[in-house]
Amino acid sequence: MSGSVIIAGLGPGSETLITPEVSAAIEQATDIVGYIPYVKRIAPRDGLTLHASDNRVEVDRAKHALEMAEAGRKVVVVSSGDPGVFAMASAVFEAVEVDADRFASLKIEVLPGITAMLAAAAAIGAPLGHDFAAINLSDNLKPWELIEKRLSLAAQAGFAMAFYNPRSKSRPHQFARALEILRAECGPERLIIFARAVSTEEQAIRVTTLGEAEPEMADMRTMVLVGNEQTRKVGSYVYTPRFAE
């Protein structure tokens, strides 16, 4: 069986943040599979077929990639950021598990990328310099009650926190509730960072406190970072010390 599936991260936005390993895989691919905005980042060329699909069909997308690899194609499944962080790597292995007798022997490789959380942190300094928790605030694949529980426990444990998918048009009220929980657990003076469209021409970063934060400061292109109790500003930078008290 000569086909293969590579699951690759395209980084947070800038083409300069795509790793050479991922670029080489794309150059050798016969097929690119992914969510429409991510596939649009791939330049068309002879011998390459682009398979773009809508959101919320991740497992179907993954199965399609596996079927093409089974037929001998060199398939690259693309995600933004890192494919293993709230992205397509898990979806591909879910599809493998559903039909393991058929797909488990395929050659599958995961190539890491720079996830938005790390790009956002680097753009402002080092707010994730100590223990931190990453939480997806979308309730598409888990109940909102579980998200609230994890928010509370992560804050109580003293983690810095990074939030993916904080606020969408279909659920604008949930991020307001998340801020309420964070204020109750962390207090109004805790630093919070809104990093939108990091590494692109539209990049905008705002540092404020939980007491001053408003839900409208975030959308689906925004990474939200919340410091721990020791996180501090130094000039225009924010960092979290490497030690805990």
Buried b / exposed e across 51-79, counting CB within 10 Å, b at 16+? ebeeeeebeebbbbbbbbbbeebbbbbbb
Residue range 217-225: mean pLDDT, rounded: 95
Domain layout of the chain by residue ranges: 4-114, 117-239
Q: What's the topology of domain 117-239? A: 3.30.950
The CATH number assigned to the domain with range 4-114 reads 3.40.1010.10
Residue 1 banded pLDDT, cuts 50, 70, 90: low
Q: Which pLDDT score, from 0 to 100, does residue 13 have?
A: 94
With beta carbons less than 8 A apart as the criterion, state whether 123 and 225 touch. Answer: no
Place of tokens 């693309």: 78
Task: Report residue 135 CA to chain centroid gap.
Answer: 10
Instruction: Give the pLDDT confidence of 74-132 residue by residue, as tens digits.
Output: 999 999 999 999 999 999 999 999 999 999 999 999 999 999 999 999 999 999 999 99
Q: Higher model confidence: residue 181 or residue 140?
A: 181
End-to-end CA distance of the chain: 55
